[in-house]
Amino acid sequence: MELFYNLDSDQVKNIIEKTISSYGFSAEHNHNYIMSYASKECKPIFAYFGDNKGLFGLEWDDGFWQLISEVMSPMNERAALFSEFCRYIFSDKNAKKILLEVPPIFRKELLKDNTKLLPELKIGAITKKLYTPIISLEEWNSTLYGPGYSSLRKAKNRFFRLFNIKILKGKDVNHISIVEYTKMVDAWRKNRSPNDIASYDDYLSYIKNGFKGSDAQLALIINDKLCGLSVAWRLPNNHDTIYYGINLHDYSIPELGEFLAVIFFEMLKSQGYKHLDFGSSDEGLLNYKKKFHPKSIIDYVCFYIRK
């Protein structure tokens, strides 16, 4: 196994691109996404196992590591390859613990034969459960017809009736200054829960880089003020599905989040996407997302591995 830190070198980028094109499957299997984490406290890493198999991770200060999504490899090899990575970082890199957010089946694979795969490490208890709703854009109706969509339909009509709405799409979102984006993102942060794990700096870094790597962007301007931003990118090896990677608004108007999502869904549907990965959610956020009537919900579990 080789561990790379300089993920922007031509050699490593070439290895990463081949790995993603061979075995990438999740929204986080994205070079630009992983690089948005780079900071003084956090180093994005790529572990390469050969044969176009690898994983993305983060090395934080004080011996804390984090797996980003799962191993890019055939499914039946993921647990063993991840165990190889763990043995390396705990023995050679003095890791203290690593955080995982993975489907329950991956955790079961690690637990199945822990003495064989990770004999010197302890797999901790589940600390949190997360849920990813999947929206069928094929079935999404822009008229929001029917009683189940009544509140979304009323919100959409109210916004267009009461406000001066301007929608920027694609490369036009780059015409907005970073000062305006910073004000909007700062307002978003101030209105979020103190327990929110989303990183303010990651979003600004992605915006400053010109949304590099994204496939769909929409900026919402209401009464000449930037109020919302939506960004999405396709899942690797699954171009029918797009991931709602950035969903920000300034909370300045009731139901602003619903309106932003509705107009973004319409845009994505018009561009031919069939499914939307609505991102990880705790139970509270999941209840909010259920008003958009997801077709299915994927479960994830969070836990630590320690010595």
CATH code: domain 132-299 is 3.40.630.30
Measured distance CA(161)–CA(155) in Å, rounded: 10
Tell me the whole-structure pTM to 2 decimals: 0.90
Can you tell me whether residue 110 is helix, strand or coil? helix
- The pLDDT score that the predictor gives to residue 286 is 95
Domains 2-123 and 132-299 share a fold: yes
Report yes or no: 44 and 35 within 8 Å, Cβ to Cβ: yes
Consecutive 10-residue runs of the chain (307 residues): their mean pLDDT? 96 97 96 88 96 98 95 96 96 96 95 84 96 96 91 96 97 95 93 66 84 93 98 94 95 97 97 96 93 96 95
Q: Which of 141, 77, 134 is nearest to 278 (CA)?
A: 134
Radius of gyration of the chain (CA): 20
Domain ranges of the chain: 2-123, 132-299
Strand pairing category for 42-50 and 2-4 = antiparallel
Q: Which CATH class is domain 2-123?
A: alpha beta
